[in-house]
Chain A
């Protein structure tokens, strides 16, 4: 039983990271109907920026928030410069552009920072807590804490602020929003910026565990896809629940299903994605879209 609780707890901690990245994916999907394949690499690149700032001698939290700002600006720029021209293009075009972006960010990071793994500091150092027979790492608890703060902030932002409401309106009904005076184009760009910042949080929190290298986010992105698919690409809350569920499922399967272990971790995510897409393509909480012909 102790092992079970232990695994669930650490599953929730990694699940928080998947949830953050999945949330970033969903925010972009909601705003522009694009599945952003470069979300993981954007997060990785932001984490490298944070690393540079730390190397320059800034204290951790200053670097952390500075990175969020940089990631936000970067996200807005990417939307304005690269995604904008293909906004109304066929899906294939958008997918290809996103893949192009993924490849560019990955190689530029490798070019600047080399492919050698770098250690990344955690803001929550120290010995794990002991509760009965269960160990709770400080970093794990910190992970859960930071992701919760991010979710609450985003919830408040989208629920209670004018700007947040305007962004949701722009995503849901661009024409009507334009009529009431919302600048739809800029709202979409802001959505990309916010998603980039949320992704950056995920990157900076996962880096102490995985070590920083340009391919760090590949596996995390796959799990974030699984989370967003499970929760539903049209539901931000679903993405969070999906992320936590996927984190727990991942850990439990690795512990209790002996032939899978840790060697087939990515395959578990793949199987999950395909099963959900086959049996409930809109996910647990997504809305079913009906297209008029």
Chain B
């Protein structure tokens, strides 16, 4: 584990590079990086639930869809400013996630995975059914917002900074949540639910809370994706989206905060490269990575880097 000051310096450098990127990269690359930030939020959300709390969700695409449609419907049908729809998506998904978390308490391990997997399979149909609000299979087309306050930024640059800012806020919140009392409680419930209860942790409350927060993070990611992509349609929120999130979490590293970034980079860029081989190649690669990571790097990229670092820099005694 790198020391505090090394870590802080690295983090500042990283943020500085991220802030400088819009002046180097083209519009399309910026769009891709905005997507990376958005995926990273969703992955952190899923990781809070699955990695830290051990509740398996194979249906997080549903909350992503809920966030995206919250934004799309509020902007398109009610004329709300897009910036306000992001906290709205956060709150809505927090409540819905918390409520979904209550019946989930009764479902252990495999059964929760089953229920959420079915949710992921059913979600496009549900979205198409409420055609009046969701625009059916045509979806809803939005327009990309301009930079506010007369800032001299293109739309892509502005959306890049917006996503980066939201990402940083969510990561700081997430870090404080996970590295404190609540985080320890979540991990304790994951590792030994009975012992955790015996120590006085309100397991039901924390598990539902984890579901709520996790859904809220993913919902914000979905809302931002609605803004950045400027288009929502039911078939983009299919079961494979949920599996993509799972891939991101596993590759980045279960129960690690920085893992969300590695995972997001992976799910954004690897399919692009693989697509050149064949339309089916990205998924074959995803599948192989899922299985191979489970065998040889169960802690993902983040965990392996940490291990490598601690071997490299032996602590002085």
Contacts and interface: CB of A to CB of B under 8 A. Distances in A.
B126 A100 contact: no
B135 interface: no
Interface string B247-258: 000100010000
B215 to A, nearest CB: 16
A152 interface: no
Contacts of A104: 283-284, 287-288, 291
A91 B89 CA distance: 31
B46 to A, nearest CB: 12
A111 B278 contact: yes
Interface stretch (A57-65, A195-203, A218-226): A218-226
Q: How large is the interface on A (under 10, 10 to 19, 20 to 34, 35 or more residues)?
A: 35 or more
A93 B294 contact: yes
Contact of A96 (B115, B126, B250): B250
B36 interface: no
Given A100-B294, A225-B114, A277-B107, A270 B284 contact: no
Nearest to B277: A111
Given A86-B295, A100-B288, A104-B284, A218 B239 contact: yes
A85 B119 CA distance: 29
Contacts of B194: 293
Contacts of B289: 100
Contacts of B284: 103-104, 107-108, 111
B280 A218 contact: no
Q: How large is the interface on B (under 10, 10 to 19, 20 to 34, 35 or more residues)?
A: 35 or more
A103 B290 contact: yes
Q: Is the interface of A mostly helix, strand, loop or mixed?
A: helix
Contacts of A264: 125-126, 129
A265 interface: yes
A174 interface: no
B38 interface: no
Nearest to B128: A263
A108 B288 CA distance: 11
Interface string A136-157: 0000000000000000000000
Contact of B291 (A97, A219, A273): A97
A217 to B, nearest CB: 11
B283 A103 contact: yes
Contacts of A267: 122, 125-126, 129
B280 A273 contact: no
Contacts of B254: 92
B294 A96 contact: yes
Given A92-B56, A263-B129, A35 B114 contact: yes
A168 B73 CA distance: 54
B121 A273 contact: no
Nearest to A29: B110
A22 to B, nearest CB: 12
B223 to A, nearest CB: 24
B243 A270 contact: no
A48 to B, nearest CB: 13
A37 B239 CA distance: 12
20 contacts: A91-B56, A92-B50, A92-B109, A95-B58, A99-B290, A100-B289, A104-B284, A107-B280, A107-B281, A110-B280, A219-B121, A221-B121, A222-B122, A266-B125, A270-B121, A270-B122, A273-B118, A274-B115, A281-B106, A281-B107
Interface of B: 50, 54, 56, 58, 103, 106-107, 109-111, 113-115, 117-119, 121-122, 125-126, 128-129, 194, 239-240, 243, 246, 250, 254, 278-284, 286-291, 294-295, 298
